[in-house]
Structures are given as C-alpha cells and as structure tokens.
Amino acid sequence: MTRIFCPTIYQRFQLDVIEELQHQHGVKVVGSTIFPLKDFKTKTPLSRQDIDTIFKEAFVLPIESVYYPSQIEKLETSFIPSQKHLIDLKHLESLFYRITDRANIFPIPIAQRRRIFLKLVSFWMDKLQEIKPDYMLYFDSPHSFNNIILGEIANYLGVPAVRLEHTSMQDYSLVLKNWDFPKIPNDYLENSSAQDIFEKLPEDLQILTDKESGKDSLVLKMVKERDATLNVSKSKGANLKLFQRFLIKASANWAKSLLASIGLYKQRVILEDIILNDSQSEALYRRKVNIPLFRQIKLNQYYNKISESEADLNVPYVFFGMHMQPEKTTLPLGEEYDNQLLAIETIATALPEGWQLYVKEHPGQFNNHRPINSHFRSKYFYDRLVKNNRVRLLSLDLDADLLMKNAKFTATITGTIGWESLLFGIPCLFFGKAFYRGCSAAYKISSVESCKAAIESGMKMNKEDIKKECFRFIHYYLANNHLIKAVNWEYKFDYTSTPRAEQISLLAKSLANKMQMNNTHENSCLYH
C-alpha cells in the first residue's frame, strides 16, 4: 500500500481526489496539513466529520500550527539538525526569508525569523522520518513558507513527489513526478508538419491553441477582463480618480479601525499563508494598511507620468510582460529571478545591436485591494528601467496582444504571456519554472550568455517551426499522461463542461499511476 503525505488541504476537490485514491487505488494517507473548515473552498456542504473520515488514520496538523509564530513555538520535536544539514539547506533558508517578508506590513526581525525557520526544519525532519511517507502529494506548487520548507525537507530526505500543476490550457492540468519536466525526445514526430500534429490533437485543444482566431478561453478571458479594471492609466483625470480611490479605501479602513477598537467590528483573524505573523487586531491592521495603500496610489501616478504612450512596432524588440507581485509565479517559481530587475537587465545586456526591450507593467500591480504589492515596486525600480537606454517602459494602455504579435521574442519569468506568444509563433525567453518549459521554442535563461544564445537560436526558427514545437509539446505530454483533462482549482469547475466526477476519477487515476511507475525511491531515502 502506497503511503502519502498531503500538504495544505483546503479545497473540496482535493478531498474528493484523496477519497478516490483511498477507495479505488489502495493509497493510504499518513499525514496532512489542513485548513480550518470555515476556510475551505467549497460550493457544497462540508462538515468536520467529512474531513475527519478521510484523514482518520493520518497524522493531521491544523495549518495554523505552522503559520503563526506563537503556534510554531509549541511544536514538539526532539530532532536537532546538524551543521551539515543546515549548510545543505542554506538555499532554503534564503528562500524562507524572502518569502516570509514578501507581503508583510508587520516586519519580523531576521533573528526571530531564523529561530522559526530552525524550529520548522527540526519539526519536519523529525516528523517525516517518524511517519515515513512513500510520496508527497502536492495539489499545487509549494509556495507558502511552511509548504516550501516541508517540500524541500521531503526532497532532502529522498521522498519522491507527485504533483498537480496549472497550465494556461483551460480544462487541462499537468500531473508530474518529482520536480523536473519530462524532456521530449528530439525525434518525436520530427517528420510531421505543424498542421499534421495539430490535427492529431483533441478538438478542444485545437480550439484552445488557435490564438490566430483572437479568442481566449473562458478562464483567460475572465482574468483579462478583471485585470483591465484594476489600473488607472494615462487617461484624462487619472490623478483625480486615483485620489478618489485612495480616499474611499482609506476612509473605510479608518472607520473599520475605529469600530474594531470599540468592539463593534469583528477582529481580523486570517490564515495568511504568505505572512509570518500572529493574527493582528483589525484596528491595528486597518491603520497600518493605509501606508502601503498610499504608496501604491503614488506609484500608479508615477508610472503613468514616466511611461511611454506609443511603441514603434517596426523596430526589432523583445516584449517583457511584468508579473504582478507578490505571487507564486515569481516567488518561489522565479527562483533567483523573483527580482524582475535582474531578468530585465539580463535581457537588455544580451540584446543584439539595434534591438529594444519593451517593458509593460502587469495590469494588476496597482490593484488598490492589494496594497502590499507596493513592496515590490518603487520610484527607484522604475527609474532604473527608464535610465537604461535599451529599455522602453510602456503605458498600461498599450495592447499586450499587439505587442506580443509584433515582437521578435516575448520574455517573462513564468507567465501566461510566454505560452500565448508561442501559440502566435513567437519564441519565448523565460526565467523560472514555467509550465511550458518542455517546449523547445521556449528558452530557459540563467545568464546574459544563455540569453544571447537563446536569441541566436530562436532567430533561426520561423512561425511554423515554433508552432510545431508547441504542438509537439502538447502531443507528447498528452501521449505520456503528463497532461490530463482535469482542472487544478475549485473555482475552475465553474468554467468546464466535463463532469466533476469524471475529472476527479481521472485526477486520482493519473496521480496513482505516477506513484506506481516506480515504487522504489529514485533517491536514497535518508530515513530508510
């Protein structure tokens, strides 16, 4: 019987898949971290008994036990990591500091954060060696600070992973083993044309990959329409509109702070998996959050002032679509390129003579409902871009699709823009763990030198070559059961016509198959 550990369970579909794994595939859950019932993403009634029944024989840890410092201190462990352990995990410690400070309006000193880091490392090294899972089952890329520590410790101990990954292809997800993306053999369908491979794809995937039709999937359309309402660009009266936004939002925060201080507004209790803090009072939080909110509004104004309203589409250029931050797409999936300045300056330095780098801010970066986004931008950030004579900072008004279609390359950390451009027949430069990294028309960049080599290689490909590589990628991943027709998030079931029960069954079967491909650990497991 395969024994699995399931981190961060908080969506109804995850429970359904785990239940299917237990009843149909002989999988035993031996451990999990679980959100409180009230925080579950579900559209059908869910009781505590439902959850307890699924995890009745497992070690279950309430997620707040590993989110709040006061709770982490109560974790019991007798394991003391050695200096070698900690040196081996230095990359993890660095990532922990970055990720626990990415959205924090109540900063915690490094010394205190290191104590918390050491406690979590000790706890999970001890616990995983005690319960001995055969596999870690991830329903998403680990990106909360606890999940990252848990995942890295499991990997360090040699526990293999099976994981569900997002794609930009509506209704389709990746099911992968461990952390690498399978490589496509060079001779796979090499003698077939792009059209031949396209016609071998399921009809729904043909529709989803036909970017020339100008139609987006329902999910992508919803995201783009939502993002289009978030920013205020160079339009007439923009500064007044931004000031009104701040006034309305700040006034509401002050009012809630006052009401909370006299007991007339419920105290803010939130399980925030990207902030390493004990739960703060609503009154204090509402007062504090107006500071980054004001900074956010001022940055939106500044960006409008210094960005360019026109872009010459006739010069050779690379189009870099920036990521909204903080998000997992840059931290942790961007690896060392969570700082987008590093990625942008790498490309700018690598550009051939006469080329330009067009940079456009993400539509959601100045969202006034996410004031902590201002942690990742500053006047210095934008000034550094503008002062680079190979970089053009573009207005929020400009059409991203138009910029994509006319570019020599697109560039991103891990974003959807990379996948969309590939479907247009435009090669992509990416810096992190993008889901399309298996496509050979997408180039992983790790230095100025690798960027120069990627541009040189990509320039030898025409649109048909690039589309062929896209279709080869899809076909190979479908044929080898890496790409399956099932969604990876509870809300996505609203945008699919495939019956829920059918998707749950396929998800469970695919995950079980990955675990049965090799029942002996591929790495030597330290606890065996």
Domain ranges of the chain: 2-182+483-516, 307-477
As a dihedral over the C-alpha atoms of residue 474, residue 476, residue 482, residue 488, rounded to 10 degrees, the angle is 10
Instruction: Give the pTM.
Output: 0.92
Q: Tell me what pLDDT residue 508 has.
A: 98
pLDDT-based confidence at residue 276 (cuts at 50, 70, 90): confident
Residue 420: per-residue pLDDT: 93
22 close to 6: Cβ distance less than 8 angstroms: no
* pLDDT at 259 (0 to 100): 92
Q: Write down the pLDDT at residue 518.
A: 52
Residues 6+ apart with CB under 8 A from 208: 169, 170, 171, 172, 217
Our measurement of the distance from residue 304's CA atom to the centroid of its chain's CA atoms, rounded to an integer in Å, reads: 27
Question: Would the pLDDT of 267 be above 90?
Answer: no
- Which of 16-20, 202-206, 235-239, 444-448 bottoms out in mean pLDDT, i.e. has the lowest? 235-239
CB atoms within 10 A of CB 352: 12
User: What confidence category does residue 520 fall into, taking pLDDT thresholds of 50, 70 and 90?
Assistant: very low
- The pLDDT of residue 266 is 73
With a CB cutoff of 8 Å and minimum separation 6, the contacts of 223 are none
Tell me the pLDDT tens digit for each residue of 73-96.
999 999 999 999 999 999 999 999
- Contact between 340 and 326 (Cβ < 8 Å): no
Instruction: Tell me the per-residue pLDDT of 130-182, one tens digit each, with 9 for 90 and over.
Output: 999 999 999 999 989 999 999 999 999 999 999 999 999 989 999 999 988 99
Question: At 194, which amino acid appears?
Answer: A
Helix (H) or strand (E) holding 240: helix 238-261
Neighbour count for residue 281 (Cβ, 10 Å): 14
Q: Tokens 């950030």 correspond to what residue?
A: 381
User: Burial, 211: exposed, middle or buried (Cβ in 10 Å; 0-12, 13-18, 19+)?
Assistant: buried
57-71, 95-109, 385-399: lowest mean pLDDT where? 95-109
What residues are paired with 227 via a beta bridge? none
Residue 219 has pLDDT above 90, yes or no: no
pLDDT tens digits, 11-34: 999 999 999 999 999 999 999 999
Of residues 276 and 324, more confidently modeled: 324
pLDDT at 522: 41
Instruction: Give the pLDDT of residue 519.
Output: 47
pLDDT digits (tens, 9 = 90+) for 176-199: 999 889 999 999 999 999 999 999
- pLDDT recorded at residue 524: 37
Average pLDDT, the chain: 92
Please report the pLDDT score of residue 271 as a whole number. 45
Instruction: Read off the tokens for 180.
Output: 């690498």
What confidence score (pLDDT) does residue 277 get?
81
pLDDT of residue 523: 40
Say which CATH topology domain 307-477 has. Rossmann fold (3.40.50)
Answer with the residue of higher pLDDT: 114 or 211.
Answer: 114
Q: What is the pLDDT of residue 302?
A: 96
Position 274 scores a pLDDT of 56
How far is Cα 56 from Cα 95, in angstroms, rounded to an integer? Answer: 34
Cα–Cα distance, 44 to 505 (Å, whole number): 18
Q: Is the pLDDT of residue 250 over 90?
A: yes
Please determine, for residue 527, whether its predicted confidence score (pLDDT) is greater than 50: no
Q: Give the whole-angstrom CA distance, residue 53 versus residue 413.
A: 41
Residue 426, pLDDT > 80, answer yes
Helix-helix angle 110-131:145-156, to 10 degrees: 50
| DSSP conformation class of 209 | T
The pLDDT value recorded for residue 521 is: 42
pLDDT, mean of residues 505-526: 72
CATH fit for domain 2-182+483-516, picks 2.40.128, 3.10.310, 3.30.1120, 3.40.50: 3.40.50
Residue 366, amino acid: F
Does the pLDDT at position 229 exceed 90?
Answer: no
The candidate with the shortest Cα–Cα distance to 64, out of 12, 10, 15, 136, is 10
Q: Do 307-477 and 2-182+483-516 have the same topology in CATH? A: yes
Q: CA-CA-CA-CA torsion for 85, 273, 268, 298, nearest 10 degrees?
A: 110
In this predicted structure, the answer to whether residue 231 has a pLDDT above a threshold of 50 is yes
Residue 526 pLDDT grade (very low, low, confident, very high; cuts 50, 70, 90)? very low
306-336 pLDDT per residue, tens? 999 999 999 999 999 999 999 999 999 999 9
Rg (CA), the chain: 24
